[in-house]
Chains A and B, each alone.
Chain A
Amino acid sequence: MPIDYTERIPNNVDLADDRRLKRALESWQPKFLDWWQTLGPALPTQDVYLRTAVDVGRAGWAHFGHVALPEYRWGIFLADRKPDRRIAFGQEMGAPVWQQVPGEYRADLQRLIVVQGDTEPASVEQQRHLGMTAPSLYDLRNLFQVNVEEGRHLWAMVYLLHAYFGREGRDEAENLLVRNSGSEESPRILGAFNEETPDWLSFYMFTYFTDRDGKYQLGTLKESAFDPLSRTCEFMLKEEAHHMMVGTTGVDRVVRRTAEVMRERDTDEVAAYGAIPLSVIQKYLNFHYSVSLDLFGSETSTNAANYFTAGLKGRWMEERRKDDHRLTDAFTEIGTVRDDQLTGVEIPSLIGLNQDLRDEYAADCAGGVKRWNAILTDAGLDARLYLPHQGFNRKVGAYSGHHITPDGRIVAAEEWEAGRDTWLPTPDDKAYVESLMRPVYDPGKIAAWVAPPSNGINGKPFDYEYVHLI
């Protein structure tokens, strides 16, 4: 069936005249739609008030309107090309960026794109049942917006695979739809993307912490010497900011509701009044933060060093850094465990780049905690949320295999196990949160465990009918 590409697939990559892309998409697009029907949002809807990107410019990247989900126009957009862009780091620093994949780096670039691409549909799969329990139509709409944009980010990575990696790229693009979150046979590549997102508190935490990992990964790929990858990621970062907003304000609203109940009832035991206790929020935060820290990989990584030296993947805000951008003689200190003591060790900066990115990420995460604590302060409460120590509950890197408490003490295994239920969500906590998950689909109404947002979407009020259900 011929497809009118420019109409069906908004793009700024000259799709209509690109035989290679058209051929690749002819085969891939129906498979994507199958995947979306099978593993995308489970809740049937008529349409959803969604933002669609039809161009990269100010006027084009945020078109709003009610759209039936399967008819969402997933587009392919790259940020505008910067004239005379140069490689900003590594051994080829100063040379013009690449418009084609150099054969030398084909395998590495393909791997980076596949790993990034694999996370995008994974989160849609993880979140597919959440629509059944949305606390408001506003939240339901946000969920779907995140979902369609993760879908578009998949398209963005698939575009690169199709346009630049030939037959192998097409095979990999197809595999992105074959691997599924939580599948026994062919799971998603990264562990955190095989965990189900069972409830909305998890969803907010996921979009705050785990999507934020994505933001930082995209930020490093935006620095890439492979210009099409750089431009793709630059545009994706715009959309990623919205996902961050959903997470940030989502946790905001949970904390605000909890603070209201704490103050009104003058108790920490807010569960009796249908809100989520701060201690449970903290446990969810601990879990999602620690799992997301693992996504950055081991503290020392020769892969990361090779990617940097080759110019494939830079550092966060590479061009704003005040150093030689080559790092061949630089050293950095990373945290580690020696003789059961937390300590620092000096290593070549090149092999410590994963930790460099993780530290940037951790500092960013601290901003959210500060913001949530400001809500508690405004409510006149003394209780505070905190970010656990980077060594807490880690499964990857120097801290894995050690028993480190959220406040950064190494303890015996028994002591850690004894504390586990106070640090991480227990089955009871999860059951309680799940018990709160009852859908609220009436415009302007919201579940009791979360506060309404201060603003609607695109200037619309909170009680706007963002989603038309069937």
Chain B
Amino acid sequence: MDGMEVSFDTHPDRYRHWKLTVDGEVAHLVMDVAEDGGLVPGYELKLNSYDLGVDIELYDAAQRLRFEHPGVRAVVVTGGKDKIFSAGANIRMLAQSPHEWKVNFCKFTNETRCGIEDATEHSGQRWIAALNGTASGGGYEIALACDAILLVDDRSSAVSLPELPLLGVLPGTGGLTRVVDKRGVRRDLADYFATKTEGVRGPRAVEWGLVDESVPRRDFDAAIERHAAQAVAESARHADGPGVELTPLRRESSATGLSYDHVRATYDRDRRLVEITVAGPDAPAPTEPADAVAQGAGYWPLAVTRELDDLVLRLRTNEPELGTWLFRTTGDTARVLDHDAFLTAHAEHWFLNEVRHYAKRTLKRLDASSRSLIAAVEPGSAFAGLLLELALACDRQYMLDGVFEDADEPGEPAELVLTEANLGAYPMANGLSRLRNRFCGKPAPGEETLGKPLDAAAAAELGLVTFTPDDIDWDDELRLALEERAAFSPDALTGMEANYRFAGPETLETKIFGRLTAWQNWIFTRPNASGPEGALRRYGTGQRAVFDRKRV
């Protein structure tokens, strides 16, 4: 995978693995994976098994449904192959992939599954899994992300999580978590289920709660229709008119960085660093929601979110050695506040609701990124409201006290501004705002601070920034911190950061990205899975795995 640059750009016209059709209020998404369509050479995507490329299309479809098809209230996911819905993540792909690829793949697929649940919960687009054949492993995990699961009852189709018995790993795309936490399957039955290669069929699957309905083949289409109609009837989505087309991103990629309209990333390979600058809006906020819709993909909050989303995905996948991301913002704070207030005022409008939730999901991606995140707050920055979330997502915040005295245009000292949006518009995976999460167990800055410009001293006093070096110290403090960071063990840093980022309560999501993922990643590196005689590596060779039998 070295030297390969993965792109996340795609469009339904170019999908190789999915078909998206929209029929009024119901969309159908058919998984029909091209066997020869693997992202990387070395495996065939048989039996509707998937790799990152397949999932990139699924993510694209989920995004477009929300923005381009505001009228859709139900999304039916089904398989395009006979007797099989999906065999899950491709095993040969997993077996041949380096560890960081597997981990990044799982993270992206997990985010996409959580995004599907987010659409059901917050967009009134209810996802229904219509399992026309066996759904095993990751295939069943796609279904688990949906709000309802229908399984065809043909006396052979089943749902299963065979990872443990077959591959010596876990169903790591939320499977173990959702079976008990979301679907409420009793733990002893869940235990049996996850050790039984062939899984569970029809009525028993319903009885245990693994699926919602088991339907004979002849009634299957009618059942789907019934579920879709019910979803449409119950949907809280109030959206009419045309959607907002997610036009191709304008992006320039070079050896030294990535650059978009509002986001610029510069690589510093010696320091294993990416310097990311996010620019504020260059126009005032629209006056009416319809104006925002008219601006389409160019509407600043959407545009900047898309660019940031793309950047995060690309950096994670293509630049695993650039371990620190340094965030700056530029622009007019008043304009950022203007847009921020507009988003808050019209949060109920379908488009602005979508923008807010998309920003929320993108910020969550940052939270879940295995990179050190540092914010540098300097004169000319615009860390306010929505953009302040970027700083709050960081592991540390450095804020210049005063100005750069030797600069050609020293400008005014930087200021942060908290707004209502920081109190809960963009919750983290644990359900808390980044502000609440930061002050777990302590009083957070109160409502009286909202809208007030906070200089370095005030920001430090409120606990919003870590250090406030002045002009004299700034360069050295930042340089030393970044160099020190780059020298530490990347694994230990990832572990530390992930632990500190999510204070407070557990949720389904934090369990997936924390507990399930950490166990899975540990198992991935163990010889019992990935050693030459491990189960993952030996799968499909006809040889049995040889295990180190010590329980750890």
Contact = CB atoms under 8 A, between A and B. Distances in A.
A167 B487 contact: no
Contacts of B467: 167
A101 B475 CA distance: 13
Interface stretch (B86-94, B156-164, B424-432, B478-486): B478-486
B476 A166 contact: yes
A103 B484 contact: yes
Interface in A48-104: 100-104
B187 to A, nearest CB: 46
A165 B480 CA distance: 9
Interface of A: 19-20, 23, 100-104, 106-107, 164-167
Nearest to A106: B480
Given A20-B472, A166-B469, A167-B469, A101 B480 contact: yes
Interface string B459-489: 0000000010100110011011111111100
A102 B473 CA distance: 16
Contacts of A100: 479
Contacts of B480: 101, 103, 106, 165-166
Interface string B224-249: 00000000000000000000000000
A24 B486 CA distance: 28
Given A20-B472, A23-B472, A167-B467, A103 B477 contact: no
Nearest to B467: A167
B486 A167 contact: no
A15 to B, nearest CB: 14
Contact of A106 (B469, B472, B473, B484): B484
A164 B476 CA distance: 8
A103 B473 contact: no
A166 B487 contact: no
Contacts of A102: 483, 487
B472 A167 contact: no
B473 A104 contact: no
A20 B473 contact: yes
B273 to A, nearest CB: 11
B95 to A, nearest CB: 36
Contact of B483 (A19, A20, A103, A166): A103
Contacts of B476: 164, 166
Contacts of B473: 20, 166-167
Contacts of B481: 103
A23 B472 CA distance: 9
Nearest to B271: A103
A19 B406 CA distance: 12
B481 to A, nearest CB: 7
- Greatest chain A CB density within 10 A among B469, B476, B482 is at B476
Q: Return the 9 tightest CB-CB contacts between A and B, nearest first.
A: A103-B483, A104-B487, A103-B484, A103-B480, A20-B472, A166-B477, A166-B476, A166-B473, A106-B480
8 contacts: A23-B472, A101-B480, A103-B479, A103-B483, A103-B487, A164-B476, A166-B469, A167-B473
A38 to B, nearest CB: 29
Interface in B476-524: 476-477, 479-487
Nearest to B471: A19
Interface of B: 467, 469, 472-473, 476-477, 479-487
Contact of A103 (B469, B472, B486): B486
- Greatest chain A CB density within 10 A among B480, B482, B484 is at B480
Nearest to B468: A167
B484 A104 contact: yes
Contacts of A19: 472
A459 B532 CA distance: 80
A162 to B, nearest CB: 11
A242 B487 CA distance: 41
B75 to A, nearest CB: 49
Nearest to B476: A166
B352 to A, nearest CB: 43
Nearest to B477: A166
A118 to B, nearest CB: 22
Contacts of A165: 480
A5 to B, nearest CB: 16
B158 to A, nearest CB: 54
Nearest to A24: B472
Nearest to B485: A103
Nearest to B484: A103
A109 to B, nearest CB: 10
B363 to A, nearest CB: 28
A98 to B, nearest CB: 11
A104 B481 CA distance: 9
A187 to B, nearest CB: 29
Contacts of A101: 480
Nearest to B483: A103
Given A167-B467, A167-B477, A104 B483 contact: yes
- Greatest chain B CB density within 10 A among A103, A107, A165 is at A103
Contacts of A20: 472-473
A120 B153 CA distance: 85
Contacts of A166: 469, 473, 476-477, 480
Given A104-B487, A106-B483, 14 more contacts: A20-B472, A101-B480, A102-B483, A103-B481, A103-B482, A103-B483, A103-B484, A106-B480, A106-B484, A164-B476, A166-B469, A167-B467, A167-B469, A167-B473
Given A19-B472, A167-B469, A104 B486 contact: yes
A27 to B, nearest CB: 12
A153 B217 CA distance: 89
Nearest to B474: A166
- Greatest chain A CB density within 10 A among B479, B482, B485 is at B479
Contacts of B479: 100, 103
B268 to A, nearest CB: 13
A100 B478 CA distance: 13
A101 B477 CA distance: 11
A19 B472 CA distance: 7
A104 B485 CA distance: 8
- Greatest chain A CB density within 10 A among B469, B472, B481, B487 is at B472
B52 to A, nearest CB: 34
A226 to B, nearest CB: 13
A175 B485 CA distance: 26
Nearest to A110: B480
B404 to A, nearest CB: 12
Contacts of A167: 467, 469, 473, 477
Nearest to B482: A103
A43 to B, nearest CB: 40
Nearest to B470: A23
A146 B480 CA distance: 35
Contacts of B482: 103
B67 to A, nearest CB: 42
Contacts of B469: 166-167
A302 B469 CA distance: 34
A100 B486 CA distance: 16
A100 B480 CA distance: 10
A344 B476 CA distance: 47
Nearest to B406: A19
B484 to A, nearest CB: 4
A100 B485 CA distance: 16
A51 to B, nearest CB: 33
A206 B456 CA distance: 49
A381 to B, nearest CB: 60
A397 to B, nearest CB: 30
A169 to B, nearest CB: 9
Contacts of B472: 19-20, 23
B79 to A, nearest CB: 52
B479 to A, nearest CB: 6
Contacts of B485: 103
A32 to B, nearest CB: 20
B485 to A, nearest CB: 7
A138 to B, nearest CB: 45
A101 B481 CA distance: 11
